[in-house]
Structure formats: structure tokens, C-alpha cells
């Protein structure tokens, strides 16, 4: 007889088998013989626990590499930079990485921010320069070198490595559920948009930040999330669910440590450039303040309903907002803040403390839903969060199919705008944008439902509490909150001993 708490042990429990636990996968598995049998040889043991090389983790990493290789092939028609006859649209291979090598003056040796204003946050600009300036130097020595192609491939290599690292983080966070990461590895959005822009720089940093938080290293977590915010804004939003859960679990010191480290990282990265080149540094903020309603957003759909986008000449509230950008900005910010307040109410009032990934997905999704800009590659922001928040295949694949439909419609819209000959009626693109918006909203609704009914949460069926929560994992609710929840609704700080 022995007593041993299993809290914090993420590789010793019974592993999850999707063909048994996931209704969608169980149904599809009937095509190849049905769910995994009781006597089947499992591939999802941790590396080193059996004699099989092809463990679940290694299969997932191989699938990520395969998806990225196919993505590189899909983008190959555009790599030479000779975009004649609108090949970048007809072959669906456009990428900002190649286009901005010339637009940002990197092909002329211009140093980002010093010689040219950059439309992205500072760390992304540094990243562009770190890869672009050596390519320009090579081009000076070899005039026949296709600088754009070299720049794109250098970026594809580094961004691909960050995508693989993100998958490895997902595997590390879900060692009992390694097949969850297959959602990320096989996502059509990863295949289509991995190197459209530099988003994987921020995604990789944010993923490692979440891993550091899960490993109870709040200062490192804050540092990495702050660096992610210096590359793209959205990783900074993850501090909000961390703070909310710390309030509920009485772990404010860890949350403030992370927030302070994140603020310090953000300051250290931005301050030198802001002081030396204030006008060029502020281009990102200026551009986002001035931009009107962009394609595919909630506001764009509203403009179409107003009748203006479709060419009927009608007017309406959304068209008025497009002509009054400050009001549009304030309304967008206000709706996002209201959504964050709603997440706070949910985090504190839910019958059981929500998981970090669930709240993180809701916050980032709310930002996209109410933003006036929703670029095609922003789907990548949600991808790892969706895997961690709700690792179920059915709704995930519906969302991914909607993203594929939007991707195709978006390129048709670009081609029509470039040639002056619409590829299809405007309503087709608006329908695709509406489907994308709707599937993201549905994912949010499903996550909220599982927060309110934690017995339906797939991750909680495998883990006692929240494997991503770090110092909050397994902590009891704050005393002032326990008075407002019925007995048994919070995590017991002294788990029952296991008998072996």
C-alpha cells in the first residue's frame, strides 16, 4: 500500500486514444477497421518507454514537416519573384515575405527603421533585417543571385523551424494526449498560410511562453510573451487570462512577475528604436490607426449588407464607419474590451476554474472577430490555442474547411481587383468570410459550454486539473470565491491518495 499524488505528472497516466474518446474520429475509424483495440500496440507512450521508433510524438513531428514541405511546394511558383500574368493569385502562392523584401528596401540594403519605416512591430522588423541584409550583401558579390528567392527560402527555413518547435511545445504540454497535436500538424491553414507573413515568429515565442508558464517559470514566461508581443501584438493578450486565473487561484505574485517581465521585454526591444527613429518606429501604430475596414472582417460584411461594397451605391452605418475611422477604431476597441470583461466574468463565475488555453482562445478570437483587419494568415494565431483549448476533430475540421473556402475566395477577389474582371460575384467572397467568422464564433460557443460543463472537456478527462496552468494547476480557489460556488466545484487542494 502506498500513497502518491499524481498532480503534475503528465506522462504517467493512461494516454488518450482519439479513436475511442473523440466521436468524430471514432466514426471515421470505421473506414479502417474501427477504434483502437484493447490489445493493440500503442504508439503514444513517451519516447524511450518502448522499442518502437515511430511513437505518436515522432509521427506528429513528421506530419508537421510533411505539411510544411507541401506548403513550400505550394508557394514555389512565386519564389522567383517574377509575378507575371498574376501568377501569385492564380496559383495561390502570394507571400508578403517576398513582396516586402523589395517594398521595405531590404534589396537596397536599407536597415529597418533607420533607413525605412516598417509596417510591423520592432522585433519583426529586426527579424526581416537579420535575414534580408546578409542576402543583400550576397547579392552585391554575385549580381546574378536572385535575392528575393534567397530571402524567401531563408525565411521559410526559420519560420518552418518555429512551426515545428510550436508542434513540439504542444506535445510537451499534452504528453498524455500526443495525438491532439495532429490537429496542428494536419491543419489545412498551416499548409496554405505558414509563410504568408512572419506570424510564426510571434507564435513560436508565445508557445514557448505558455510552456514556461506551465513549467512554473513565470519570469521566463513573461519574457517570452513580451518578446512575442514585440513581434505581433496578440501574444500580449495572453496576460489577461493568466491574471484572471491567478486572481481565482490566489497566485497573483506569479502573474505579476510574468506581466512585469513581459513589460520589461517589450520596453527593452522597443525603446532604442523609438528614441533613435521615432517617426519610423511609429509607422506600425500610425498605419493601424489610419486603416479603413479591411477585406473579410465583420465590418466588411456589414458594408456589403449596406449595399456599398456590392456596387449598389447604398449607404448605411458600416459605410459611415468606414468614412469615420476614429469612430470605427473606438468601436472596435470597445467591443474587444467588452469581450475581455465577459471572459473575466466567465473565468470568475464558472463552476470550476477554466483552463488557461480556453480563456486564451476566447480572448484572441474576440480580438479577430471585432478587429477591422483580419488577414488570411491570422488563422495561425488561433491554431495552437484551438489544439490546447478544445482538441476535438469535428468542429475543428469545419472551421478549417471554412478557412480553406475563405482562402480560395480571397485569392479570387485579389485576382478580380488586379485584372478589373471579377472572378465571381462579390457575394461569394462575403459568404466565405461569413462562414469563417461563424465557425470561429461556434468554436467560442463550444469552449464556453465546456467551461460551464467541465465534464464535457476532453482535456479534463485526461488531466486532474489544467496542465497549462503552472503554479495555478491544482490550486484551490480563493476563499472569497469559494463562498460563491457549491461544494465540489473547485479543485481539492489535498487530492485523494492513489492506492497501488
Per-residue pLDDT of 107-139, as tens digits, reads: 999 999 999 999 999 999 999 999 999 999 999
Contact 157, 194 (CB under 8 A): no
Contact 230, 121 (CB under 8 A): yes
pLDDT at 281: 95
d(CA 153, CA 195): 10
List of the chain residues with pLDDT < 50: 1-12, 29, 31-34, 47-48, 310, 312, 492-500
pLDDT at 23: 58
- How many C-beta neighbours within 10 Å does residue 265 have? 21
pLDDT at 478: 87
Contact 406, 432 (CB under 8 A): yes
The model's pTM: 0.89
Dihedral, 361, 362, 364, 369 alpha carbons, nearest 10: 130
d(CA 231, CA 120): 8
> Which grid coordinates belong to 154?
531563408
Contact 192, 404 (CB under 8 A): yes
Output DSSP code: residue 495. Answer: P
Dihedral, 149, 150, 154, 157 alpha carbons, nearest 10: 60
Percent of the chain with pLDDT over 90: 81
Chain centroid to CA 219: how far? 22
> Which grid coordinates belong to 93?
502562392
Per-residue pLDDT of 134-149, as tens digits, reads: 999 999 989 889 999 9
Amino acid at each position: 500500500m502506498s500513497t502518491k499524488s499524481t498532480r503534475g505528472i503528465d506522462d504517467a497516466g493512461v494516454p488518450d486514444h482519439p479513436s475511442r474518446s473523440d466521436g468524430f474520429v471514432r466514426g471515421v475509424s470505421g473506414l479502417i477497421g474501427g477504434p483502437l483495440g484493447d490489445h493493440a500496440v500503442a504508439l503514444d507512450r513517451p519516447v524511450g518507454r518502448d522499442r518502437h521508433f515511430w511513437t505518436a510524438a515522432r509521427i506528429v513531428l513528421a506530419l508537421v514537416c510533411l505539411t510544411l514541405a507541401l506548403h513550400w511546394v505550394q508557394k514555389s511558383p512565386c519564389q522567383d519573384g517574377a509575378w507575371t500574368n498574376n501568377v501569385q493569385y492564380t496559383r495561390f502562392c502570394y507571400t508578403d515575405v517576398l513582396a516586402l523584401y523589395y517594398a521595405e528596401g531590404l534589396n537596397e540594403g536599407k536597415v529597418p527603421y533607420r533607413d525605412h519605416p516598417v509596417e510591423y512591430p520592432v522585433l519583426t522588423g529586426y527579424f526581416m533585417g537579420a535575414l534580408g541584409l546578409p542576402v543583400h550583401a550576397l547579392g552585391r558579390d554575385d549580381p546574378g543571385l536572385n535575392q528575393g528567392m534567397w530571402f524567401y527560402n531563408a525565411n521559410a527555413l526559420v519560420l518552418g523551424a518555429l512551426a515545428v518547435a510550436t508542434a513540439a511545445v504542444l506535445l510537451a504540454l499534452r504528453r498524455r494526449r500526443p495525438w491532439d497535436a495532429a490537429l496542428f500538424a494536419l491543419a489545412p491553414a498551416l499548409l496554405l498560410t505558414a509563410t504568408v507573413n512572419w506570424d510564426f515568429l510571434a507564435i513560436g515565442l508565445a508557445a514557448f511562453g505558455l510552456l514556461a508558464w506551465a513549467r512554473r517559470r513565470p519570469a521566463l514566461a513573461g519574457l517570452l510573451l513580451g518578446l512575442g508581443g514585440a513581434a505581433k501584438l496578440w501574444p500580449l493578450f495572453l496576460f489577461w487570462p493568466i491574471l484572471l486565473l491567478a486572481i481565482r487561484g490566489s497566485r497573483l505574485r506569479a502573474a505579476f512577475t510574468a506581466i512585469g517581465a513581459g513589460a520589461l521585454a517589450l520596453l527593452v526591444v522597443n525603446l532604442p528604436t523609438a528614441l533613435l527613429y521615432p517617426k519610423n518606429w511609429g509607422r506600425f501604430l500610425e498605419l493601424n490607426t489610419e486603416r479603413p475596414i479591411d477585406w473579410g472582417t465583420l465590418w466588411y460584411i456589414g458594408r456589403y449588407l449596406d449595399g456599398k461594397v456590392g456596387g449598389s451605391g447604398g449607404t448605411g452605418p458600416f459605410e459611415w464607419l468606414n468614412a469615420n475611422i476614429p469612430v470605427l477604431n473606438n468601436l472596435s476597441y470597445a467591443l474587444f474590451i467588452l469581450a475581455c470583461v465577459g471572459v473575466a466574468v466567465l473565468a470568475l463565475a464558472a463552476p470550476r476554474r477554466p483552463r488557461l488555453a480556453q480563456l486564451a482562445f476566447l480572448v484572441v478570437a474576440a480580438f479577430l472577430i471585432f478587429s477591422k483587419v483580419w488577414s488570411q494568415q491570422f488563422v495561425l494565431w488561433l491554431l495552437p490555442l484551438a489544439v490546447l483549448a478544445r482538441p476535438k476533430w469535428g468542429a475543428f475540421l469545419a472551421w478549417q474547411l471554412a478557412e480553406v473556402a475563405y482562402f480560395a475566395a480571397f485569392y479570387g477577389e485579389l485576382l478580380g481587383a488586379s485584372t478589373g474582371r471579377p472572378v465571381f460575384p462579390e457575394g461569394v467572397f462575403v459568404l466565405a468570410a461569413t462562414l469563417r467568422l461563424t465557425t470561429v464564433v461556434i468554436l467560442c460557443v463550444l469552449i464556453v459550454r465546456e467551461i460551464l460543463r467541465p465534464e464535457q472537456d476532453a482535456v479534463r478527462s485526461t488531466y486532474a486539473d489544467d496542465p497549462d496552468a503552472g503554479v495555478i494547476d491544482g490550486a484551490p480557489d480563493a476563499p472569497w470565491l469559494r463562498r460563491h460556488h457549491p461544494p465540489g466545484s473547485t479543485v481539492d487542494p489535498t487530492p485523494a491518495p492513489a492506492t497501488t
